[in-house]
Amino acid sequence: MDNVIRRRTPRARLLRAGLYALLIAAALVYLLPLVVMVLTSVKPIEEIRAGALLSLPSHFTLDPWIKAWSSACTGMRCDGLSGYFVNSIKIVVPAVAISTLVGAINGYALTKWRFRGSELVFAMLLFGCFVPFQVVLMPMARTLGWLGLASSVSGLVLVHVVYGIAFTTLFFRNYYVAVPDEMINAAKLDGAGFFRIFWRILLPVSGPIITVSVIWQFTQIWNDFLFGVAFAGFDSQPVTVALNNMVNTSTGVKEYNVDMAAAMIAALPTLVVYVLAGKYFVRGLTAGSVKG
């Protein structure tokens, strides 16, 4: 609408002010939970009991954070979230790496080396994006048991890789479809083979989609709760499961500030990624869920 001449009538100005007011009010509402979470996490518990959800802390303290990290009780144990945070990292890193790599090769093979039935293969893989995980819980629990991976970090890595491939394949397929076939043909004539074309020609131009895939998988796996609660043992629980246990632990006095600090700790990695690479995050969301 850049070229439409707009008259600055008083009514238009008023409308515009209203628009800004509305947008800012909405922003405040969206921010409220985060603000409350942060404020609560740095207040002593007495101050919280006195109410005043939104007031700034009169005694700023990081004790809740320290406690949430190292000594709060999650169910039976009382050594904070730190161990579970590390578990999450141990699950996320290999799962993200493997699923992204597999997705990249799948996307490459399915777009640049089409074969009879390759479209069908893609459609069959894609369905993995839609299956409600409740359908696979019980059989997966049995399978992990047989494989000797029950309650282990490796088991969770396997689960996340298996159900992440559908998304990563979709990402890379949609990206590689737009890479001109002529480029691949040129490389074939130049004498490059299947893997050489992938490494030398395609991967160097895949930066954006690798970022999208890594961020998406990281967010999904870090935030997972269902697989964690269903398949993890005490020693392999991810941070989300530990957080839920901590908050739902009914023993002792309820320490809301510690709960909030724990929630912040669990949320920070994905929040940081979102703030640093929001563009790619949004692209993953839309690409991952809109087009097939």
Partner 1 sequence: MSALEIRNVRKTFGDTEVLKEISLAIDSGEFLILVGPSGCGKSTLMNAIAGLEPVTAGEIHIGGEDVTWRTPAERDIAMVFQSYALYPSMTVRQNIAFGLEMRKVPKAERDQAVERVADLLQISQLLDRKPSQLSGGQRQRVAMGRALAREPQIYLFDEPLSNLDAKLRVEMRTEIKKLHQRLGTTIVYVTHDQIEAMTLADRIAIMRDGHILQLGTPDEVYNDPADMFVAGFMGSPAMNFLSASLEGGPGEYRVRVETEGAQAPLVLPWPVERETEALASQVGRPVTLGLRPEHFSEEDERLGDQAEGTRFEATTTVVEPTGADTLLQVRLSGVEATVRLGPKSRIKAGDRIALRVDMSRAVLFSTEDESRLA
Partner 2 sequence: MTPTDSLSRASSRRAGRRSLAGTLERVLPRLVVAPSLAVALFFVYGYMLWTFILSLTGSRMLPQYNFVGLEQYARLFANERWHVAATNLVVFGGLFIAICLVLGLALAIFLDQRIRQEGALRTIYLYPMALSLIVTGVVWRWLLNPSLGIEALVQSWGFENFRFDWLVDPDMAIYTLVIAAVWQASGFVMALFLAGLRGIDDSLFKAAALDGASLPRVYWRIVLPCLRPVVFSAVMILAHIAIKSFDLVMALTGGGPGYATDLPATFMYAHTFTRGQIGLGSASAIMMLCGVLAILIPYLYSELRERKHG
**Binding piece for partner 1, criterion CB under 8 A, among 28-36, 66-74, 180-188, 228-236:** 180-188
Longest CA–CA separation in the chain, Å: 76
Nearer to partner 1, 62 or 205 (CB): 205
Q: Compute the 3-state secondary structure of the chain and give helix, strand, coil in percent, each to the nearest 5.
A: 75, 0, 25
**Binding piece for partner 2, criterion CB under 8 A, among 34-42, 57-65, 73-81, 176-184:** 34-42
- Name which of partner 1, partner 2, none residue 23 binds, using a CB cut-off of 5 to 8 Å depending on partner kind: partner 2
- Name which of partner 2, partner 1, none residue 169 binds, using a CB cut-off of 5 to 8 Å depending on partner kind: partner 2
Contact map string, positions 196 to 215, toward partner 1, x by CB under 8 A: x---xx--xx----------
Contact map string, positions 72 to 111, toward partner 1, x by CB under 8 A: ----------------------------------------
Nearest approach in angstroms of CB 1 to partner 1 is 32
Give the orientation angle of helix 256-276 with respect to helix 207-223, to 10 degrees. 170
Nearer to partner 2, 199 or 225 (CB): 225
3-state secondary structure of 259: helix
For every residue of 125-192, DSSP letters joined together read HHGGGTS-THHHHHHHHHHHHHHT-TTSHHHHHHHHHHHHHHHHHHHHHHHHHTS-HHHHHHHHHTT-
Residue type, 162: V
- For partner 2, the binding residue among 131, 186, 203, 205 (CB under 8 A) is 131
Residue type, 18: G
Nearest approach in angstroms of CB 196 to partner 1 is 7
Strand partners, 77: 74
- Name which of partner 2, partner 1, none residue 77 binds, using a CB cut-off of 5 to 8 Å depending on partner kind: none
Question: Is residue 189 a contact point for partner 1 (CB under 8 A)?
Answer: yes
- Name which of partner 1, partner 2, none residue 281 binds, using a CB cut-off of 5 to 8 Å depending on partner kind: partner 2
Contact positions with partner 2 (CB under 8 A) in 253-292: 256, 259-260, 262-263, 266-267, 270-271, 273-275, 278, 281-282, 285-286, 289-290, 292
Residues in contact with partner 1 by CB under 8 A are 180, 182-183, 185-193, 196, 200-201, 204-205
